[in-house]
Chains A and B, each alone.
Chain A
Amino acid sequence: MSARSVGRRVLAALSLTVAATIVLAGCAGSDAPASSGTGAADGSAPSGELSWAIAGATLSEGHMDPQTSQMDVTAMVQRVVFDSLVFQNADGSFSPWLASAWEVSEDGRSYTFTLRDDVTFTDGEKFDAEAVKANFDRIVAPDTASAQAASMLGGENYAGTTVIDDTTVRVDFHEPYAPFLQAASTPLLGFYSPRVLTESLDKLKAGGPDVTVGTGPYILSEYTADQEIVYTANPDYAWGPQGQKTPSIQTLRVSLVPEPSVRTGMANSGEAQLVSELPPSSVAELNSDLKVDTKAYPGMPYSLFLNEKYGVFADQKVRQAFELGIDVDSAVESIFDGQFERAWSVLGPTTPMYDAAIEGTWAFDPKKAEALLDEAGWTGRDADGYRTKDGKRLSVRWIAWTPIPDDRTALGNAIQSDLKKIGFEVVREALEPGAYNEQYGPKTYDITDWGFSGVDPDYLRSHLATDGFQNASQVSDPAVDALVAKGAETVDPTERAAVYTELQEWNAQHVAIVPLYVPALISASAPSVSGLTFDLYGRPLFYDASID
Chain B
Amino acid sequence: MIRRAAIGVFGGVLLLWAAATASFLLMRVIPGDPVAVMLGPQANVSEAVRQRLREQLGLDRPVLQQYVDYLVGLLRGDFGESFQLRLPVTEVIGRQLGATLQLTLAALGIALALVLIVAIVARTRRTRAVAATVEQIILGMPVFWIGLILLSVFAFGLGWFPVTGSRPGSLVLPAVTLALPTAALLGQLLRDGLEQAERSEFAETVRARGAGDVRLLAHHTLRHATVGTLPMVAYVIGSLLGGAVLVETVFARPGLGRVTLAAITDRDAPVLSGVLLLSCAVFVVVSLLSDVAIPLLDPRRRERAAPRPDAGDLSA
Q: Which residues on A are within 8 Å of B, measured CB to CB?
A: 3, 6-7, 10-11, 14, 17-18, 20-22, 24-25, 28-34, 53, 57, 60-62, 70, 142-143, 145-148, 150-151, 155, 202-203, 205-206, 224-228, 253, 255-259, 261-262, 265-266, 268-269, 271, 401, 432-438, 440-441, 450, 452, 462, 469-470
6 cross-chain pairs, A with B, having the tightest CB-CB distances, nearest first: A434-B32, A28-B168, A226-B254, A147-B43, A62-B84, A18-B113
Given A18-B116, A262-B151: A256 and B85 within 8 A (CB)?
Answer: no
**Residue on B nearest A62 in the bound complex, by CB:** B84
| Cβ contact within 8 Å between B296 and A6 | yes
| Cβ contact within 8 Å between B112 and A268 | no
| Cβ contact within 8 Å between A227 and B254 | yes
Q: B234 CB to closest chain A CB, in angstroms? A: 15
| Cβ contact within 8 Å between B162 and A18 | no
A32 to B99, CA, bound (A): 22
Question: What is the total of A-B residue contacts with beta carbons within 8 Å?
Answer: 209
Q: Which of A11, A205, A227, A258 has the most CB of B within 10 A?
A: A227
Given A145-B45, A202-B86, A226-B96: A433 and B162 within 8 A (CB)?
Answer: no
- The residue that B265 contacts in the complex, of A224, A268, A432, with Cβ under 8 A, is A432
| Cβ contact within 8 Å between B44 and A206 | no
A30 to B172, CA, bound (A): 11
Is B53's beta carbon under 8 Å from chain A? yes
**Residue on A nearest B114 in the bound complex, by CB:** A18
**Residue on A nearest B56 in the bound complex, by CB:** A143
- The residue that B152 contacts in the complex, of A265, A441, A452, with Cβ under 8 A, is A265
Count residues of B near A (Cβ-Cβ below 8 Å): 74
A31 to B209, CA, bound (A): 50
| Cβ contact within 8 Å between A147 and B112 | no
- The residue that B41 contacts in the complex, of A24, A206, A271, A440, with Cβ under 8 A, is A440
Q: A214 CB to closest chain B CB, in angstroms? A: 20
Q: Which residues on B are within 8 Å of A, measured CB to CB?
A: 30-33, 36-46, 48-50, 52-53, 82, 84-87, 95-96, 99, 106, 109-110, 112-113, 116-117, 148, 151-152, 155-156, 159-169, 171-172, 218-219, 222-223, 226, 248-255, 258, 262, 265-267, 296-297, 299
**Residue on A nearest B264 in the bound complex, by CB:** A432
- The residue that A434 contacts in the complex, of B31, B85, B297, with Cβ under 8 A, is B31
A145 to B34, CA, bound (A): 14
| Cβ contact within 8 Å between A25 and B40 | no
| Cβ contact within 8 Å between A6 and B113 | no
**Residue on B nearest A7 in the bound complex, by CB:** B223
Interface pairs (18), CB distance under 8 Å: A14-B113, A17-B113, A24-B168, A29-B161, A31-B168, A62-B38, A62-B84, A70-B42, A145-B38, A151-B44, A206-B85, A206-B86, A225-B254, A227-B164, A266-B163, A271-B155, A433-B265, A438-B32
Given A206-B87, A255-B165: A25 and B172 within 8 A (CB)?
Answer: yes
A155 to B45, CA, bound (A): 9
